[in-house]
A = this chain, B = another copy of it.
Amino acid sequence: MAARAFRSSSSFLRTAVSAPSSFSRPVLAIHQSRRRFAVSASKMSDYYAWEPEGPTVKTAIPGPKAKAAIAELDEVFDTRSLNMLVDYQKSSGNYIADPDGNVLLDVYAQIASIPIGYNNPALLKAARGDDMINGLINRPALGNFPPADWADVLKTGILKVAPKGLDQVFTAMAGSDANETAYKAAFMWRRQHERGGAHVEFTEAEMASAMDNQLPAGASELSIMSFKTGFHGRLFGSLSTTRSKPIHKLDIPAFDWPQATFPLLKYPLEDYVEENAAAEKAALDEVEHLILNYRVPPCAVIVEPIQSEGGDNHASPAFFRSLRTLTRKHNVLLIVDEVQTGVGATGKFWAHEHWDLPEPPDMVTFSKKAQTAGYYFGNPELRPNKPYRQFNTWMGDPARALLFRSIIQEIERLGLVEKTAKVGDYLFGKLELLAKKYPDQFQNLRGKGMGTFIAFDNPRRDEFLVKAKTFGVNIGGSGKEAVRLRPMLIFEEKHADILLAALEKIATSW
């Protein structure tokens, strides 16, 4: 894939219009494109044609125009979590613009959910296509009335990138309901086993108790196990597995489900080999203990490859291999939540490909950079024994499924996963140097070999993020004091250099 993309790239320099984006020589491409396409933006076929060469900071952020618009918005919409008001029409590639003319390098990317840049020309073209417009204006109830080409849309899109061993999909709307439908599949699967198989009919007592939210079938004595500091969404079932911060959970009723400790590793890894191995063993022991002893036994364990909202907590591939073995041993399903880690940012399409698992996870959930959501599975028994048990009106959004297909095509055409792995290595190497130079500012640097999915801790993290904007970079945080980097897949070394320069400015500005 990478080789093909590089060929495309050089042909671009010759033909300019018909050839695809230049990834390896973006600056030249910008200049060419600007000269040739200044008049008709719609003809541009290059990511970088619209991308500025660097950030521009004209005002405080928010500036006067943004402040006025925020005040207006606050009359009807809660703006207290507002980070930055955005002019999306003027945002381009890796750069996010605001109404006051500020343009920032964006390594937060809508909480890790912009895959291949703002106003990506390939997506612009796809959005203008008849298929996408049809999906947008004729929204089907996908479970009842799927489009005639739905199999094709799935096979050439969502399923083309299905994790190894998982060849079926249930489509959803966002990360929370992707996880919750996966949980529902797990509960139904386990209860079906307990009943003796798919052919066993429900009893009258089960049907009556289900309607009353009571035992045996309406308040199942089964649970979903998750990890402390994990995040899996904010609806009632997913929030019961989320253990990120009290503010996410306070006052919302939750199920009595178990949580195991996630092995919070110490850095640099090479200095804590034994301690970290012991932490991972202790976590696995706790998982097994809870499977065997928790008062509401789990039918599934859900885990993020890298705990993202919870503070960018990593564990070793060996830990995840053992978790797979352990869950299989106890007939507990393993759900891998790739909502934030999926779609390339770790240098593999799915982060769990880093683990070399002995057998696939039972389900893998996705959303964010996929721009649609759902879960993959392989085992036909995860289709419940009757129709309408796993069902809702829309079951996803075909326009968003088509967008994901176009995203996948661009990722493959340009070899963006492989490139992200390389750029990530470059960025990590430079960050190691910064961390040596300013050890207090860049603590616990982590994400080596995981593409651009990199984080470090800073004791004054919230101020750090505010300062970042003044130096032209939009960055997000996670957990209590992590600075998390979530660039898009079109983030290159030149963008890394801009980011690194800004980070050093922040570090020396206190």
Task: Find chain B residues with CB under 8 A from A72 CB.
Answer: 151
CB <8 Å contact, A251 and B170: no
Q: Is A243 an interface residue (CB 8 A)?
A: yes
Given the interface pairs A75-B151, A144-B81, the reply to whether A214 lies near B110 with Cβ below 8 Å is no
Q: Is A146 an interface residue (CB 8 A)?
A: yes
CB <8 Å contact, A141 and B113: yes
A139 touches which one: B110, B136, B252 (CB < 8 A)? Answer: B110
CB <8 Å contact, A246 and B206: yes
Q: Is A39 an interface residue (CB 8 A)?
A: no
CB <8 Å contact, A219 and B111: no
Most B C-beta atoms less than 10 A away, residue of A79, A81, A248, A403: A81
Task: Find chain B residues with CB under 8 A from A305 CB.
Answer: none
Provide the bound-state CA to CA distance between A134 and B97, in Å: 14
Task: Find chain B residues with CB under 8 A from A145 CB.
Answer: 82-86, 96, 110
Q: Which of A21-29, A172-180, A321-329, A351-359 lies at the interface with chain B?
A: A172-180
CB <8 Å contact, A169 and B76: yes
Closest B residue, CB atoms, query A136 = B127
- Chain A residues 186-221 with CB under 8 Å of chain B are 187-188, 191, 202, 206-208, 210-214, 217-220
Q: Is A394 an interface residue (CB 8 A)?
A: yes
What is the CB-to-nearest-CB distance from A173 to chain B, in angstroms, rounded to a whole number? 4
Q: Which of A270-278, A341-349, A384-392, A412-420 lies at the interface with chain B?
A: A384-392
CB <8 Å contact, A176 and B177: yes
What is the CB-to-nearest-CB distance from A113 to chain B, in angstroms, rounded to a whole number? 6
A246 touches which one: B136, B211, B248 (CB < 8 A)? Answer: B211
- Contact digits for A90-118, partner B, Cβ 8 Å, 1 yes 0 no: 01000010110000000000110110001
- The range of chain A's interface size is 35 or more
A137 touches which one: B66, B119, B212, B218 (CB < 8 A)? Answer: B119
Q: Is A249 an interface residue (CB 8 A)?
A: yes
What is the CB-to-nearest-CB distance from A138 to chain B, in angstroms, rounded to a whole number? 4
Task: Find chain B residues with CB under 8 A from A143 CB.
Answer: 78, 81-82
What is the CB-to-nearest-CB distance from A39 to chain B, in angstroms, rounded to a whole number? 17
- Chain A residues 405-434 with CB under 8 Å of chain B are none
CB <8 Å contact, A393 and B220: no
Closest B residue, CB atoms, query A212 = B259
Task: Find chain B residues with CB under 8 A from A235 CB.
Answer: 176-177, 180, 235-237
CB <8 Å contact, B78 and A253: no
Given the interface pairs A81-B143, A180-B236, the reply to whether A388 lies near B248 with Cβ below 8 Å is yes
CB <8 Å contact, B389 and A253: no
CB <8 Å contact, B151 and A249: no
Closest B residue, CB atoms, query A217 = B250
CB <8 Å contact, B134 and A234: no
Q: Is A260 an interface residue (CB 8 A)?
A: no
Given the interface pairs A136-B399, A148-B98, A177-B177, the reply to whether A253 lies near B187 with Cβ below 8 Å is yes
Q: Is A34 an interface residue (CB 8 A)?
A: no
Given the interface pairs A130-B89, A237-B236, A371-B139, the reply to whether A249 lies near B211 with Cβ below 8 Å is yes
Given the interface pairs A141-B113, A175-B393, the reply to whether A86 lies near B399 with Cβ below 8 Å is no
Q: Is A38 an interface residue (CB 8 A)?
A: no
Provide the bound-state CA to CA distance between A154 and B250, in Å: 29
CB <8 Å contact, A246 and B148: no
- Chain A residues 138-170 with CB under 8 Å of chain B are 138-141, 143-151, 154-155, 159, 167-170
Provide the bound-state CA to CA distance between A150 and B75, in Å: 12
Closest B residue, CB atoms, query A241 = B213
What is the CB-to-nearest-CB distance from A223 to chain B, in angstroms, rounded to a whole number? 8
CB <8 Å contact, B403 and A137: yes
Provide the bound-state CA to CA distance between A73 and B147, in Å: 10
- 26 inter-chain pairs at a CB distance below 8 angstroms, sorted by A residue, are A76-B154, A77-B154, A81-B388, A84-B145, A86-B147, A88-B147, A111-B393, A113-B139, A113-B141, A113-B394, A119-B137, A124-B137, A126-B137, A136-B399, A137-B403, A139-B371, A173-B173, A174-B392, A187-B252, A188-B251, A207-B250, A220-B253, A235-B235, A235-B237, A247-B389, A248-B388
Interface residues of chain A, those whose CB is within 8 Å of chain B, are 65-66, 69, 72-73, 75-89, 91, 96, 98-99, 110-111, 113-114, 118-120, 123-124, 126-128, 130, 132-141, 143-151, 154-155, 159, 167-171, 173-177, 180, 183-184, 187-188, 191, 202, 206-208, 210-214, 217-220, 222-223, 228, 233-238, 240, 243, 246-257, 259, 367-368, 371, 383, 386-394, 397, 399, 403
Q: 7 other contacts beyond A76-B151, A77-B168, A177-B235, with CB at 8 A cut-off?
A: A78-B387, A86-B148, A113-B394, A127-B137, A210-B249, A219-B255, A253-B255
